[in-house]
């Protein structure tokens, strides 16, 4: 890329911990050190530098927003070094092969969470050190996630991230061979997390469960 270094990021807002009880947060701290998730493809969970977090948040938020003091930040996230390009026409598209999106979906099987793509972007470091931020799906379905108010822990710990790495290493090489009903069940589970209306969530969960108990080898 002619001296340009690309990285896909998904930064996790501290809003995921702001509503938690203090004792819950102190007993199960969010990820605060690097955890390789799929090293062969450059994917890891890690802390984020303050300046990078500020630029990604600024560039991903709607430009019409007031510049009042932000009441949240980002301290960690998902990072993929040297991600593939979607095409020559769209070299800066975020997560073109779906690795980070799949990782996020699998993370909810490890620990229900409210991590979203609100601060997802492809970050290009230029030769002079300047950064270009190309926002990903920062609006729409994947930019929201919901949990019942009774769920206090809405983030990943280091132990959760390590379990996620094990699950991802098993899933990613064989995902194309999964029966369609298993694929649909996984993504229906993800759509449930992104759906606010409880009645709609029930329908999606029922559909996912129906797929899992199906005995038809042709579906």
Residue 48: pLDDT band (50, 70, 90) is very high
Q: Quick one: 172 and 132 in the same domain? A: yes
- The residues near 129 (Cβ < 8 Å, ≥ 6 apart) are none
Q: Quick one: 149 and 186 in the same domain? A: no
**Both structure tokens of 179:** 């029966």
Where helices occur in the chain by DSSP H, the ranges are: 15-18, 22-27, 50-60, 99-110, 158-174, 180-193, 198-213
**Does pLDDT of 67 surpass 70?**
no
Q: Are 47 and 35 in contact (CB under 8 A)?
A: no
Q: Please tell me the least confidently modeled range out of 52-61, 66-75, 160-169.
A: 66-75
**211 vs 170: which has the higher pLDDT:** 170
**Both structure tokens of 4:** 């340009």
The 3-state DSSP class for residue 132 equals: strand
Q: Quick one: 104 and 182 in the same domain? A: no
**Among residues 70, 96, 103, which one has the least CA distance to residue 82?**
96
Q: What domain range includes position 214?
A: 178-219
Q: Quick one: 208 and 170 in the same domain? A: no
Q: Are 17 and 157 in contact (CB under 8 A)?
A: no
> According to the model, what pLDDT value does residue 191 have?
95
160-194, pLDDT tens digit by residue? Answer: 999 999 999 999 999 999 988 889 999 999 999 99
Q: Quick one: 95 and 185 in the same domain? A: no
Domain count, the chain: 2
Q: Quick one: 21 and 122 in the same domain? A: yes
Q: Quick one: 211 and 171 in the same domain? A: no
> According to the model, what pLDDT value does residue 65 have?
58
**Does pLDDT of 50 surpass 90?**
yes
Residue 66: pLDDT band (50, 70, 90) is low
* pTM score of the predicted model: 0.91
Q: Quick one: 95 and 200 in the same domain? A: no
Between the alpha carbon of residue 29 and those of residues 134, 147, 154, 157, the distances in Å are 30, 19, 11, 6
> According to the model, what pLDDT value does residue 215 have?
59
> According to the model, what pLDDT value does residue 210 have?
84
């Amino acid at each position: 890329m002619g001296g340009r270094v690309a990285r896909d990021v998904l930064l996790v807002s501290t809003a995921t911990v702001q509503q938690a009880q203090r004792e819950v947060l102190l007993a199960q701290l969010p990820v605060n050190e690097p955890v390789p998730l799929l090293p062969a493809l450059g994917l890891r969970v890690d802390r984020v530098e303050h300046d990078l977090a500020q630029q990604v948040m600024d560039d991903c938020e709607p430009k019409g927003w007031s510049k009042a003091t932000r009441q949240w930040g980002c301290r960690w996230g998902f990072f993929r070094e040297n991600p593939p390009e979607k095409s020559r026409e769209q070299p800066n598209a975020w997560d073109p092969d779906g690795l980070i999106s799949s990782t996020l979906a699998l993370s909810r099987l490890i620990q229900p969470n409210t991590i979203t793509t609100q601060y997802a972007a492809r970050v290009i470091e230029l030769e002079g050190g300047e950064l270009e931020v190309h926002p990903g799906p920062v609006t729409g379905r994947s930019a929201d996630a919901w949990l019942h108010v009774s769920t206090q822990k809405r983030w990943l710990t280091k132990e959760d991230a390590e379990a996620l790495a094990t699950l991802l290493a098993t899933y990613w090489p064989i995902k194309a061979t999964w029966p369609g009903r298993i694929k649909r069940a996984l993504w229906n589970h993800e759509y449930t997390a992104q759906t606010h209306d409880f009645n709609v969530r029930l329908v999606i969960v029922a559909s996912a469960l129906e797929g899992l108990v199906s005995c038809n080898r042709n579906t």
